[in-house]
Amino acid sequence: MPAFDSNGVEIAYTVTGEGPPILLIHGFASNGRVNWGDTGWTSALEGSGRMVICVDNRGHGDSEKLYDPSQYSSSIMADDAANLLGHLGIAQADVMGYSMGARICAFLAINHAERVRSAVFAGLAENMIKGVGGGEELAAGLEAASLDQVRDPMPRAFRIFAESTKSDLRALAACMRSSRQKITEADLSTITAPVLVAVGSEDEVAGPAEPLAAVIAGAKVLYIPGRDHMRAVGDKVYKQGVLEFLAELS
């Protein structure tokens, strides 16, 4: 994967397809290929006539691994995303983030509004405002000597996923201790780009979509029926809803 220097940190990325650009920001313990390639998103977006940019967030995939939690705030990772667009010479792009990526996407839309043509916040809704608990338990589960020592269902599920993506567990633990910043309703209300909030109807991690959409002028809601946090990512309803949202902007 190509990479560039973002304020002293090496960030890996891919660019495929041609057309209006869309930047995809993956979730915690994932990477661009797993979150967007393996789920069919890259091919679907390319097929709709788009240039697809996938970033590996710092500490993930092929990007540089850091072990200081202060290096993983969502606003810092949003700076990485903005710097990537600048590196590629792209003034403005549509942006979609899933879970942690949705939080990063929101900071991008707030702190670098000029870079964001539209935004899709997926896999994280009301809990972007309220916060998602259990961060220390998840971090401890990642740092455990083995999976057998992780008993609680949620930390165990994330440990299994992190191992399946061959992630650096120590880097992810540092990220988990920093990246789950709450975003105030006042800050979210400053977003002027068109927004779609997309979550699984059974996604307890994300929380309901309406409270988030209500504080962003004109935001739309898409529920992905019967899907929880882990199973919504590649769903055809999610894909179709996003493609329709993007098409309406053209």
Domain assignment present for 236: yes
State the CB neighbour count (10 A cutoff) for residue 153: 8
How far, rounded to the nearest angstrom, does the alpha carbon of residue 160 sit from its chain's CA centroid?
Answer: 19
CATH number of the domain at 213, please: 3.40.50.1820
* pTM (two decimals): 0.95
C-alpha R_g of the chain: 17
Residue 179 pLDDT more than 60? no
Taking only the tens place, the pLDDT of each residue in 198-216 is: 999 999 999 999 999 999 9
Q: Distance (Å, rounded) from C-alpha 82 to C-alpha 146? A: 37
Domain assignment present for 151: no
200 beta partners: 224
Residue 175's closest CA among 1, 51, 26, 3?
Answer: 26
51: which 2 tokens? Answer: 């240039």
State the CB neighbour count (10 A cutoff) for residue 12: 21
Q: What is the pLDDT of residue 218?
A: 97
Q: Distance (Å, rounded) from C-alpha 172 to C-alpha 177? A: 9
Residue 173 pLDDT more than 70? yes
Domain assignment present for 70: yes
91, 20 Cβ separation under 8 angstroms: no
- What is the number of domains present in the chain? 1
Domain assignment present for 136: no
**DSSP state for residue 150 in the 8-state scheme:** -
Range in 37-41, 94-98, 164-168, 242-246 the model is least confident about: 164-168
Task: Give every CB contact of residue 235 below 8 A, 6+ residues apart in sequence.
Answer: 200, 224, 227
Domain assignment present for 147: no
Domain assignment present for 80: yes
130, 144 Cβ separation under 8 angstroms: no
Taking only the tens place, the pLDDT of each residue in 88-130 is: 999 999 999 999 999 999 999 999 999 999 999 999 999 999 9
Residue 134 pLDDT more than 80? no
Which residues form the domain of 98? Answer: 3-130+181-249
Predicted confidence band at 182 (pLDDT cuts at 50, 70, 90)?
Answer: confident
How far, rounded to the nearest angstrom, does the alpha carbon of residue 16 sit from its chain's CA centroid?
Answer: 19
Residue 180 pLDDT more than 70? no
Mean pLDDT (the chain) is: 95
